[in-house]
Structure 1
Amino acid sequence: MRILHTSDWHIGRSFHGHSTLPALREVLDALIEQVRENSVEVVIVAGDVFDSSTPPAECYTLLTDMLSGLADAGAAVVVTSGNHDSAARLGFQSGLLRAGIHVRTDPATVDAPITLTDEHGPVHVYGIPYLEPALLRRTWPGEKLRTQHDAIAHAMGLIRADHASRGGRSVVVSHCFTAGVDPTPGLERDIQQGGLDVVPLAEFAGIDYVALGHIHGRQQLAPTVRYAGAPLHYSFGEADKPRGSWLVDLSATGEASVTWLDLPVPRRLVTIRGTLDELCSAAEHEYATTAWVRAEYTDATPQRDPLRRLQERFPFCAAVVHAPERQHERDDQTYAGRVRTARTDVELIGAFLAHVREGEGASPAEAELISEVIEGRTVAEAVA
């Protein structure tokens, strides 16, 4: 059986204030074409379909179009909810979806697989939605479920018991943070990276293929346990991570042969660095004029309107950071101490600049300008 593993669509997420819906539609249209070209039989979407629990109406439109497109391409579709999704909102329409599209959001159904069949027999796909331990007391009364690990371990126990009675090949879909992955800082929210909420890799032992979601970069934890990552770059921290999905061929005996399919990048992300004047004029940065840009300008002091100036050259400049090359060592002198030692107005202004600039006072040009202003004010007062 041929399976395409994708995850973390995050429909509705913005990128530095810009909508990502048009770019995501372009990428997912390409994914649908890959499903058609590769004769994929099952598409797995491993959680975080939406970016929030209350997505706007246009997000549902995009999801409906994509699920319909995948079904039209000849694939069954299995979707699970993630920590960003509202399981209730994602699952409410499952009964209205066309045949072959399965949405799993109820923890009570983890041991009720979606069974698909090829020429070699059945493949049982077990969908584990994101499991919030505090909300599982009614689903699994009497179980001590304090952590993600506890919840996944219990779910996997139910799955193994069911699979033992059925036989055949097995696939598990889960949205969690599994030991051994390298997260993208600031993106994978709500699931701890350390401590008790990490799920040990051993919990998924014995399954023919485990399709994981939650981490935005592709990762292989074991030959048969993988993260597909997100189809779009949602952060400059992801800029070096490839975008795509895993194509999994499950043999008659359950052996998984896995290859990577790249997805197009509608607009690449780059970080450029230099003084503000260099960034705005140097030919070496011309390549970035059509990209999403994070600019780090290295001037010793903050500059006026850096974003506006940069956007005149880089229309898609989304983030600007002041990152001076030379870091000044802090001294122990307080602002009050600097003020007490100032003997003139010029020195008083210099003390203020040294304080806000972490030790760097006025430059020679600035000092000259300050003197001219102070002296001009003094003359004006004397005339008055």
Structure 2
Amino acid sequence: MRLIHTSDWHLGQNFYTRSRAPEHQAFLNWLLEAVERHQVDAIIVAGDIFDTGSPPSYARELYNRFVVQLQGIGCELHVLGGNHDSVATLNESRELLACLNTRVYAGTDVQATMMHCRDGSAGAVLCPIPYLRPRDIIRSQAGLSGAEKQQQLLEAMTDYYQQCWQAACALRGDQSLPVVATGHLTTVGASKSDAVRDIYIGTLEAFPARNFPPADYIALGHIHRPQRIGGSEHIRYSGSPIPLSFDETGAAKSVNLVTFSHGALESVTPLEVPVSQPLAVVKGSFGEIENQLAAWRDAPAQPTTWLDIEVVTDDYLHDIQKKIQHITESLPVEIILLRRSREQRQRALERLHSETLSELSVEDVFERRLALETLDEPHQERLRALLRETLHGLDEEASV
């Protein structure tokens, strides 16, 4: 049997007011081609199919159209709920999608199920474990310490995996079939990115890999960087198919092509997802930024590159913004973020603590506070205009 493991599509993501719909459509088109090219029997989406619990209509349309197109080429789809997904939203179409060769596993009421090859024969047994919300698997007890709550949740998650594993073994019987488990969580040692929302805060921050059952392959979601866990070939995050934050740029995005033979794992091959919307981070002083931007001077007009520009200087950000915008006017780039670096923002905060209001004008206080924000230039100009209008109104009232 051959399957594709993917996760964290985040359909409907709003990326600093920009839509990711074209990128997601390009990925789904490529994924359909990959299924055909590699004769894939099933796809597992290990959580976060949507970016929010109430996804916009175009995101649902992307999802539903993909289900229909995939059904037409005879490939099964198995969709797991993630921490960004709503159980109710995913379940509302579960029975309808079951008629289109798609299984949805949103809550903890799921059971081990059979995965099939294109010819209809049994190919593997799936332990379909979605994002486990603590309230669904444990009962709150008064008087527990923080460490005791951690241990309680760890034991509950481990028991849940073991029960599903045992059910999978019972379903497999004496057939020589591999067992595939899933999960949407953070495991010990996983490398995260800015777009990943911490889960199990205050109780269990990470699930130890040794607590997983002995499945032949464990398809994980939630972490956006593709990686193996603990050096294990069979415990993997596929990562997100597109960069969901600027700190995910510079590394290839992929899905995992997983092949089983004679009831065991044969190989895991990452398939690199083509980039449809380039992202880049430019960081440094104004001179360094100017030199880095020169790389786009002879670049093709399309596609434009979305930029996150981090300014490392003590100069006023407002002055540098005008200079950078002048430089980029003729370049195939779009500035999505223009901000001070984290180090500069921290120094600005420390400077504020050492100053007194008597030393600063109203405009000074406003500019120092604005410098801590990550707002684009038009937004900042609107705020400055509102400040000027407010101060003008106050001056008129004072003169009456």
Q: TM-score, normalised by structure 2?
A: 0.74
Amino acid of the residue matched to residue 129 of structure 2? I
RMSD: 3.5
2:160 aligned partner? 155
1:131 aligned partner? 132
C-alpha offsets along residues 289-323 of structure 1, whole Å, 9 cap, x if unaligned? 83111112334311326556534515411111224
Deviation at 1:272, TM superposition (A): 1.6
Q: Are residues 316 and 206 of structure 1, via their aligned partners in 2, closer, same or farther at CA, if it must alter by over 3 Å?
A: same
Amino acid of the residue matched to residue 334 of structure 2? F
Please tell me whether residue 116 in structure 1 is matched to residue 130 in structure 2.
no
Note the 1:266-345 alignment, pairs <5 A: 266-276=276-286, 279=289, 284-286=294-296, 290-304=304-318, 306-307=320-321, 309-312=323-326, 313=328, 315-323=333-341, 334-335=354-355
Amino acid of the residue matched to residue 257 of structure 1? S
Q: Are residues 279 and 113 of structure 1, via their aligned partners in 2, closer, same or farther at CA, if it must alter by over 3 Å?
A: same
Amino acid of the residue matched to residue 41 of structure 2? E
Deviation at 1:274, TM superposition (A): 4.0
Q: Which shows bigger deviation, 237-246 or 310-319?
A: 310-319
Note the 1:15-30 alignment, pairs <5 A: 15-30=15-30
2:3 aligned partner? 3
Amino acid of the residue matched to residue 221 of structure 2? G
Deviation at 1:71, TM superposition (A): 2.3
C-alpha offsets along residues 39-92 of structure 1, whole Å, 9 cap, x if unaligned? 001111000000001111111101011222222233111011000000111111
Amino acid of the residue matched to residue 185 of structure 2? C
Is residue 131–residue 151 contact of structure 1 (8 Å, CA) maintained in 2? no
Q: Are residues 268 and 116 of structure 1, via their aligned partners in 2, closer, same or farther at CA, if it must alter by over 3 Å?
A: same
Amino acid of the residue matched to residue 161 of structure 1? Q
* Correspondence for 2:242 among 221, 232, 237: 232
Q: Secondary structure at the match of 2:160?
A: helix
Amino acid of the residue matched to residue 320 of structure 1? L
Q: Which shows bigger deviation, 297-306 or 195-204?
A: 297-306
* Correspondence for 1:247 among 253, 257, 271: 257
Is residue 112–residue 171 contact of structure 2 (8 Å, CA) maintained in 1? no
* Correspondence for 1:214 among 213, 219, 222: 222
Q: Secondary structure at the match of 1:84?
A: coil
Deviation at 1:105, TM superposition (A): 1.3
Amino acid of the residue matched to residue 308 of structure 2? R
Equivalents in 2 of 1:15, 1:213: separation in Å? 20
Is residue 7–residue 47 contact of structure 2 (8 Å, CA) maintained in 1? yes
Q: TM-score, normalised by structure 1?
A: 0.77
Deviation at 1:229, TM superposition (A): 0.5
Is residue 106–residue 129 contact of structure 1 (8 Å, CA) maintained in 2? yes
Equivalents in 1 of 2:260, 2:271: separation in Å? 16
C-alpha offsets along residues 161-214 of structure 1, whole Å, 9 cap, x if unaligned? 213323332111211111221111x32214148962311101224101111000
Q: Are residues 305 and 19 of structure 1, via their aligned partners in 2, closer, same or farther at CA, if it must alter by over 3 Å?
A: farther
Is residue 108–residue 132 contact of structure 2 (8 Å, CA) maintained in 1? yes
Equivalents in 2 of 1:331, 1:165: separation in Å? 65
Is residue 132–residue 148 contact of structure 1 (8 Å, CA) maintained in 2? no
Amino acid of the residue matched to residue 5 of structure 1? H
Greater Rg over alpha carbons, structure: 1
Q: Are residues 151 and 79 of structure 1, via their aligned partners in 2, closer, same or farther at CA, if it must alter by over 3 Å?
A: farther
Equivalents in 1 of 2:289, 2:149: separation in Å? 53
2:178 aligned partner? 169
Equivalents in 1 of 2:311, 2:354: separation in Å? 28
Is residue 77–residue 103 contact of structure 2 (8 Å, CA) maintained in 1? yes
